[in-house]
Amino acid sequence: MICMSEINSQAKISLGNTIRGLRKAKGYSQESFAEACGMHRTYMGIIERGEANVTLANILGIGKVLGISLTCKSLLRMLGITLQHIPSILL
């Protein structure tokens, strides 16, 4: 059985990897990306390594800088959560 802390850890790592990949695809250095998001470079590194519990406000700010619209479905995908297990009313 998977415990909640393991799920949380996996989600943070998946989110961090996704943010890193999107940042690199847009040509941002970690430092310039963090600055554009209004964050410190070291905090962005913590996010990208999956070590931070990122607030929704920070996730939305990151999405804005990346030029992507963050819906509930896209956030779940970024976290590596399969949509088939989520009731459609929540999406």
Dihedral over alpha carbons 70, 19, 21, 38 (to 10 degrees): 110
For position 76, what pLDDT does the model report?
A: 72
| Phi, psi torsion values for 26, nearest 5 degrees | -85, -5
pLDDT tens string, the chain, 91 residues long: the values are 566 677 678 889 988 999 999 999 999 999 999 999 999 999 999 999 999 999 988 988 999 999 987 777 777 776 666 666 565 555 5
Q: State the amino acid at position 82 in one-letter form.
A: T
The burial class, CB within 10 Å (0-12 / 13-18 / 19+), for 71 is: exposed
Q: What H or E segment, with its residue span, contains residue 15?
A: helix 4-25
Q: What span, in angstroms and rounded, lies between the C-alpha atoms of 74 and 39? A: 22
pTM: 0.77
